[in-house]
């Protein structure tokens, strides 16, 4: 039996194309670094609906519980746009997050030196950027009750969503942020709207409690979410780790992602609580969507998916040195001017999905 088991869910659109390059990377680490990773592949999203009539089969969900980590490509596409909401492809991803209790979403925003000029901000503002946003993923206004749309007596309609957080929900995601900061720059910024929302007051108080009782060696600041949004485009390099609730984390992480110049470069991780052996259930996926407009063209950028596997190495497979090696190989590809269409610039070499995966493996061979 292999030391590590990973479930691969390529999904829809460009998902299978970019995930094929990740499989090549895994095979390389098994051969050259004794990684001892076994993989199994299954369906999610529209691909699962076409076979099972639902976006995630129960057997696949059971598999996800039994492995060390899940790697997901992308879900969705126009083919399934008219399905009932309950069986849309995206519901497969949401079921994975919910049933694995993946409460902490990690979204790094890293600007590689070779791509600094691709950002919409001035190069000097983003060159060397390396920040992490930790978003609470299973609570807040997206899940709070009561919710819904109702008819009023006067004929108007009323829409209601409720922001709800508990002490335990806030403290556990705060601990994830503090643990990450200890391995990075040692600074956490907690973000909410405590000036106008009671849930924000509670958020601020509970994050402060975790700091004061468990992580006094890590610096903690608080900032309102609207101010963080402003500062991200004014001086993003001031941040190390930002922790926030579901709604603000959704918005701020998308904003931070565009500082880098391309969604095709950005990985993410969603982590659950640690078990008795110190292991967390985990799902890794690129930030980009299924990109049906380029699916099948062989021109999708696989680097976000490859970098998601690097996160998997670091957080689920106890292979931080291998993650460093893989990230260095990706960086060297970019330094050498290898580009897929989404990040192509004059004077660089335009390649497709497979050639980019091969280029990463070539640099891995050079680095060992």
CA 48 to chain centre: 22
Residues 244 and 277 in one domain: no
Same domain, 25 and 59: yes
pLDDT of the residue at 1: 65
Judgement on whether residues 290 and 358 belong to the same structural domain of the protein: yes
State which of 217, 235, 258 marks the end of a domain.
258
* Same structural domain, 251 and 310: no
In a domain, 125, yes or no: no
Give the list of residues 6+ apart from residue 30 with CB closer than 8 angstroms, or none.
Answer: 36, 37
List 212, 226, 293, 335, catalytic entry: 226
Classify residue 46: in a domain, yes or no. Answer: yes
Indicate whether 301 and 354 sit together in one domain.
yes
Domain count, the chain: 2
Q: Is 24 a catalytic residue?
A: no
Burial class (CB in 10 A: 0-12, 13-18, 19+), 151: exposed
Task: Look at residue 137 and tell me if it is in a domain.
Answer: yes
Domain boundary among 200, 225, 258: 258
Q: Are 157 and 135 in contact (CB under 8 A)?
A: no
Q: Determine if the pTM surpasses 0.85.
A: yes
Give the C-alpha separation, 126 to 256, whole Å.
Answer: 11
Residues 227 and 148 in one domain: yes
Query: Same structural domain for residues 250 and 267?
Result: no
Site of tokens 């891995």: 364
Residue 31: count other Cβ atoms within 10 Å of its Cβ: 9
Enter the DSSP assignment of 208: H
Examine residue 120 and state whether it is found in any structural domain, yes or no.
no
Find the CATH number of the domain harbouring 202.
Answer: 3.40.718.10
- By the 8 A CB rule, do 75 and 89 touch? yes
Q: Are 270 and 137 in contact (CB under 8 A)?
A: yes
Is residue 247 a contact partner of residue 142, using CB atoms and an 8 Å limit?
yes
The Cα–Cα gap between 345 and 28 comes to 29
Q: Can 193 be counted among the known catalytic residues?
A: yes
Please identify which of the residues 36, 81, 254, 335 carries the catalytic annotation.
Answer: 254
- Dist. CA 187–CA 177, nearest whole Å: 9
Whole-number Cα distances in Å, 307 to 106, 183, 299: 13, 18, 17
Classify 41 as helix, strand or coil: strand
The encoded tokens of residue 196 equal: 């106008």
Question: Which residue matches tokens 């970098």?
Answer: 307
- The answer on 137 and 99 residing in a single domain is no
Same domain, 220 and 300: no
Find the domain containing 71 and state its range: 1-115+263-368
Residue 124 lies in a domain: no
DSSP E strand stretches across 13-162: 37-41, 69-74, 104-110, 130-136, 148-151, 157-160
Let me know: does 6 contact 282? Beta carbons within 8 Å: no
Q: List, in sequence order, every residue forming a beta bridge with 159; answer none if it has no partner.
A: 149
In a domain, residue 123? The reply is no
State which H helix or E strand residue 137 sits in. none
Q: Residues 139, 252: one domain? A: yes
> Which residue(s) pair with 38 in the sheet?
5
Which of 233, 258, 283 represents a domain boundary (last residue)?
Answer: 258
For residue 60, give the 3-state DSSP assignment: helix
Whether the CB-CB separation of 130 and 116 falls below 8 Å is answered with no
Q: Is 4 helix (H, G, I), strand (E, B) or coil?
A: strand
Q: Mean pLDDT in runs of 10 for the chain (368 residues)?
A: 91 98 98 97 98 98 96 97 94 92 95 88 93 96 94 97 97 97 96 98 98 98 98 97 97 90 87 84 95 96 97 94 97 96 92 98 97
H/E element holding 229? helix 225-234
Annotated catalytic residue within 101, 142, 237, 358: 142
Q: In this structure, is residue 234 part of a structural domain?
A: yes
In a domain, 349, yes or no: yes
In angstroms, the CA 112 to CA 109 distance is 10
Contacts of 324 (CB under 8 A, 6+ apart): none
Q: DSSP per residue over 240-294, as a string?
A: SEEEE-HHHHHHHHHHHHHTTS-GGG-EEEEEEEE-TTS-EEEEEEESS---TTT
Residue 12 near residue 75 (C-beta atoms within 8 A): yes
Do 274 and 251 lie in one domain? The reply is no
Is 254 annotated in the active site? Answer: yes
Q: Are residues 243 and 322 in the same domain?
A: no
Give yes or no for a contact between 77 and 13, defined as CB atoms under 8 angstroms apart: yes
């Amino acid at each position: 039996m292999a030391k590590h088991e990973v479930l691969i869910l390529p999904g829809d659109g460009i998902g299978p194309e970019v995930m094929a390059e990740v499989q090549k990377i895994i095979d390389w680490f098994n051969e050259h670094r004794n990684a001892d990773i076994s993989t199994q592949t299954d369906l999610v999203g529209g691909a699962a609906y076409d076979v099972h009539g639902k976006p995630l089969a129960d057997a696949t969900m059971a598999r996800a519980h039994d492995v060390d980590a899940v790697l997901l490509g992308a879900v969705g596409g126009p083919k399934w746009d008219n399905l009932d909401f309950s069986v849309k492809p995206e519901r497969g991803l949401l079921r994975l997050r919910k049933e694995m209790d993946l409460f902490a979403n990690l979204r790094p925003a890293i600007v590689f030196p070779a791509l600094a000029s691709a950002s919409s901000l001035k190069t000097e503002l983003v060159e060397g950027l390396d920040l992490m946003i930790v978003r609470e993923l299973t609570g807040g206004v997206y899940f709070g009750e009561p919710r819904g749309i109702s008819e009023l007596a006067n004929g108007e309609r009323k829409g209601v969503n409720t922001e709800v957080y508990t002490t335990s929900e806030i403290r556990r995601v705060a601990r994830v942020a503090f643990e990450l900061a200890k391995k990075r720059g040692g600074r956490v910024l907690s973000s909410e709207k405590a000036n106008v929302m009671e849930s924000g007051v509670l958020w601020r108080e509970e994050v402060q409690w975790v700091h004061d009782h468990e992580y006094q060696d890590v610096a903690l600041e608080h900032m309102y979410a609207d101010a963080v949004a402003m500062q991200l485009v004014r001086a993003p390099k001031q941040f190390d780790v930002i922790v926030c609730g579901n709604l603000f984390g959704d918005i701020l992480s998308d904003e931070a992602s565009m500082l880098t110049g391309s969604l095709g470069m950005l990985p993410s991780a969603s982590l659950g609580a640690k078990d008795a052996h110190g292991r967390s259930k985990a799902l890794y996926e690129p930030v980009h969507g299924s990109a049906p407009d380029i699916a099948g063209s062989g021109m999708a950028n696989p680097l976000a998916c490859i970098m998601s596997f690097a996160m998997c190495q670091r957080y689920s497979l106890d292979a931080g040195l291998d993650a460093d090696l893989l990230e260095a190989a990706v960086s060297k590809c970019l330094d050498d001017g290898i580009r897929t269409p989404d990040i192509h610039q004059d004077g660089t070499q335009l390649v497709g999905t497979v050639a980019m995966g091969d280029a990463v493996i070539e640099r891995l061979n050079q680095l060992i």
